[in-house]
Structure 1
Amino acid sequence: MTKRVKPWSALFALCLGFFMVMLDMTIVNTAVPSMVRELGTELTAVIWVTSVYLLAYAVPILPASRLGDRLGPKRVFVAGLVVFTGASLWCGLSGDVETLIAARAVQGLGAALMTPQTTAFITHLFPPDERGPALGAWGSVAGVAMITGPVLGGVLVDRFGWEWIFFANVPIGLLALALTAVHVPDWRPGNSHRFDVPGILLFGAGLVCLVFGIQNGRTHGWGYAGAGVLLLGAFVLWQRVNRREPLLPLRIFRNRDFSLGAATAVLVGFAMTSTLLVLAIYLQSVLGMSPTDAGLLTAPLALMSGAVAPFAGRLSDRTHPKYPLMFGLFSLCGGLCVLSLVIIPASSPAALIPGLLWCGLGVGFIFSPMSNVTINSVERSLVGSASGIFNTARQIGGVLGGAAVGLVLQARTSAPMAGRANEAADAVKTAFLLPMGVLILGLLCSAALRRSRREPRPIGQDGSPDRMTAAP
């Protein structure tokens, strides 16, 4: 016996799990000062709580996409959701920073298993004329979740303690499991992929060495960063000579729009992670705000983004997505410029609101058009690889953004921030130059996208989800 699949109900269930994944990229930021204090550790160690999650998220995404093709996206998504939810409970129960970092690594693995399955289902469940709005909704979830993190995190840390930013995932994860069981079809593409083990090892080792080298270069030297670059270079070389089934199909980068979209995703991930981390540290460690007040102050950013994201998604379907994407990147960069001008120790927190609203306008216009133009630019046979690379690119940007901010703040402050307000404010201003610079590069990438819009081709044997059925 079969039952009819409702694509939008299935997408809601998938996006609920994806919302948790993206929320946990930024919800930790507001808890950083509390973790430093309560776990009795240093800022460098706590930044690894964010970095290790992003690393463990970025490295396995491409293999996880192929695992979904082999075992079925629903099975892999559910496995990832179980791992993520269980690791969230472990994070909350951690009594020291080392255990917390280990739990966050497992949590990132669960996130990596889940994410590529969401885009696989979008391309399978929705016909071409509905795929744009579906990708837009998926992209909007990513943007709204990332900027909701500091608000929700602040309230939870103040009311219940930093542990509850992780405990809160448990009921959401259980609800997502129930909805997935009911609404998401058990579909199996039936592709038998090879796993590029040398490629996975080279990519993972290179990225870990690079991030560790950037984040700890001042204390451990820059040899790790150099080794990371060499390993990543060896990874690219291996992908060129591997004739079987490389982890990263380099031919996809011959598509100009995809390459530019993936580059923009790296830059946006860098900018978002670094911006929200710097804001959280500045508001609490320099202005002395509580986690709740710091989180609520960033609420205008979240509200503005959530308000304009649906409009941006519709606009990207009616025009070329490059135009709303360019507007979003310009607005986010402009908002950061305004914020950097008002960051002084004596400034009122209210002075940050105009800049935050402008940033929120930009974020709302970025994620939906960016995912739309990147994934829809490739041919049918490469959609799975495209979605995996796109998600990996965004996480790599986030990892590098967090590491770079940690390096700048360490280099520009010689004492706890609360004790040297002027020095801390200067460090924050300098740190804001990083996301502003990469957003300018992102604006150039998006401007270079072709004007012609390409319609996505159907996915599946007949391209129609209307006749698709699911096992009960």
Structure 2
Amino acid sequence: MHAERVPSPLRWWTLGIVALGTFMLMLDLSVVSIALPQIHTSLHSSFSDLQWVFDAYALTLAIFLVAAGSTADRVGRKKVFQVGFGIFTAASLACGLAGDAVALSSFRAVQGIGAAIMFAVGPALLGHEFHGKERATAFTAFGAAVGLAVATGPLIGGGLTSALSWRWIFFINVPVGVIAMAIGALRVRESFNPRSLGTDWTGLVTFSVALGALVFATIRGPEEGWTSATILSLYAVSAVFLVVFALVERRVGEKAMIDLAFFRNPTFVGISLVAMIGNAGALPSVFFETSYLENMLHVDAWGAGLRFLPLTSAMFVAGAVAGGLIGKVPFRVLLGFATGLLAVGLVLLRLTHLDSTWTALIPSMIVSGIAMGAFNPARAALAIGVTEPSKAGVASGINETFQQVGIAVGIAGVGALFQNRVAHAFTSSDVGHQMGHDAASGAASGISAGGIDAVAAKAGPAHDQVLHAARSAFLTGFHDAMLLSAILAGTAAVVAFLLLRTKDLHASALSTIPPDVDDEGNIVPDTEDAVDRAAAPA
């Protein structure tokens, strides 16, 4: 037996640091939603500025995720993980100190790079330290950290924002990050993969430009005009660089940032699309439900966090149940049901009216929470189940990239529709006609960003009429945006039922016995497990 396979007494420290880092990076994906109204007020930001606070993080997380893993394999996983943690911590401090929306979004992008490094390298560190059945425990804890961060994000964000300031959702990362890096330097072992072929820098650059141009054009479209030269040029740049990226990936072979060979498997194509389209519908709903609670119902940040408990509780329960169904129920049924149920939950948001209380959100939150909770375990399992174990990490990284792309594009696209519908509803109202098109359009921008009361306050004697028109316009935009989210979720369900096939699964996925790793950190079955898998029924 090789030295690497002897359990290290330091392995539990590695698990703790990786789980903590994962919790922090996923928390910063969800915690920001609760603080957006305060960020808007504090930094005088527009609606597109608020979108970028979300999307800058998701974009760089998606772009650097796969590249970070290959770099760490070659340079050293511990070393790169520590660098990622350092980037994340320093960027968190900068976010908390940001003086305007542009600076905040820029530092969020840097924070996303650190998050991508931690998210990509963490599982490889665990794979090097844990073997056999202990490995299942380690990855269960890793998955729990992800779920816990998503579920508790609204509560933590609400608590910090209400008690202190929105800046503390970032400041809290600093002491935790410094302590974690100090412990990691002393208690985490280094590991490499000598077979690593290095980082595909050309692919990284072309993918970054393509994705960045796409999201930027979609966010700026409502303000610049969809047929303006700027927006059309950005979409053209995105398309050209996406084609260049595909050509580059075909030529570089195994060194490719995204190995196109995976996409010869219909089920891998299917789970990639389901992850992207499903998340494009799911995450914007949290963004807009928070805005509805805080701007339409005047609930403070802490109260908004508490009111998300029906969703987060349903996520916890459904996640536990769904995890036990993997291997017993076909993936197409699990994922098709989850995304279809999400579509139903998002349609239920249309139960809200001008005189509704927050309880109108409960049916949607429960149904959507069940759907989101059931979706994640099955998605993660299928992403690695369609390829041989030695390539499971790469397959998982690609799927996570598609998931983050879906979040970024979803926030941009659904947000663009919301802005358009709010503007149309307000400018076409009686109040909008009385104000004139230019003044009404300016007011609509304020309404979209959550400034309903501020818009009404400027109306003087017409305060009540403007307030009613503004609230009606916001609700119209909210309903239409959530309908688009529901359509995206429904589309993901159709893709799941059409493309996900059990026959495309790799033989190693026929057993739930956890895989092990070889001396170079590659996931492989244990010898005795391989026998069990060979005997497993098809």
Residue 111 in structure 1 maps to residue 110 in structure 2: no
State the Cα distance separating 1:458 from its structure 2 match.
4.3
1:242 aligned partner: 252
**125 and 331 in structure 1: CA distance in 2 versus 1, 3 angstrom threshold:** farther
Q: Which moved more, 1:163-172 or 1:391-400?
A: 163-172
Q: How does 1:157-196 map to 2 (within 5 A)?
A: 157-177=161-181, 180-181=184-185, 184-196=188-200
Identity %: 30
The structure having more radius of gyration, on CA atoms, is 2
Contact 1:330 1:443 in 2 (8 A): yes
Q: How does 1:42-441 map to 2 (within 5 A)?
A: 42-127=46-131, 135=139, 137-177=141-181, 180-181=184-185, 184-220=188-224, 221=228, 222-223=231-232, 224-243=234-253, 245-340=255-350, 342-414=351-423, 415=444, 416-417=446-447, 418=452, 419=467, 420-441=470-491
State the Cα distance separating 1:147 from its structure 2 match.
3.7
State the Cα distance separating 1:339 from its structure 2 match.
2.0
Code of the aligned partner of 1:385: V
Code of the aligned partner of 2:237: A
- TM-superposition CA deviations, 1:418-441 (whole Å, max 9, x none): 231111111001111222112112
Contact 1:5 1:184 in 2 (8 A): no
Equivalent residue for 1:460, pick from 518, 521, 532: 518
Code of the aligned partner of 1:334: V
State the Cα distance separating 1:372 from its structure 2 match.
0.9
Q: Report SS of the residue matched to 1:41.
A: coil
Q: Which moved more, 1:127-136 or 1:313-322?
A: 127-136
Residue 450 in structure 1 maps to residue 501 in structure 2: yes
| Alpha-carbon RMSD | 2.6
State the Cα distance separating 1:291 from its structure 2 match.
1.5
- Distance in 1 separating the partners of 2:486 and 2:135: 32
State the Cα distance separating 1:406 from its structure 2 match.
2.2
- Distance in 1 separating the partners of 2:330 and 2:123: 21
- Distance in 1 separating the partners of 2:24 and 2:345: 26
**397 and 143 in structure 1: CA distance in 2 versus 1, 3 angstrom threshold:** farther
Code of the aligned partner of 1:78: Q
- Structure number with greater CO (CA < 8 Å, separation at least 6) is 1
State the Cα distance separating 1:184 from its structure 2 match.
4.2
Contact 1:140 1:367 in 2 (8 A): no
- TM-superposition CA deviations, 1:230-287 (whole Å, max 9, x none): 2112211222233572222110111232222222221232123211111111111222
- Distance in 1 separating the partners of 2:333 and 2:140: 15
- Distance in 1 separating the partners of 2:349 and 2:355: 14
- Distance in 2 separating the partners of 1:357 and 1:429: 18
- Distance in 1 separating the partners of 2:187 and 2:397: 23
Contact 1:331 1:359 in 2 (8 A): yes
Contact 1:138 1:368 in 2 (8 A): no
Contact 1:153 1:291 in 2 (8 A): yes
Unmatched segments (≥5 aa) in structure 1: 467-472
Q: Report SS of the residue matched to 1:365.
A: helix
TM-score (ref. length: structure 2): 0.80
State the Cα distance separating 1:127 from its structure 2 match.
4.8
State the Cα distance separating 1:143 from its structure 2 match.
3.8
TM-score (ref. length: structure 1): 0.90
1:469 aligned partner: none
- Distance in 1 separating the partners of 2:74 and 2:472: 56
- Distance in 2 separating the partners of 1:133 and 1:455: 19
Q: Which moved more, 1:65-74 or 1:455-464?
A: 455-464
State the Cα distance separating 1:401 from its structure 2 match.
1.1
State the Cα distance separating 1:108 from its structure 2 match.
0.7
State the Cα distance separating 1:125 from its structure 2 match.
4.5
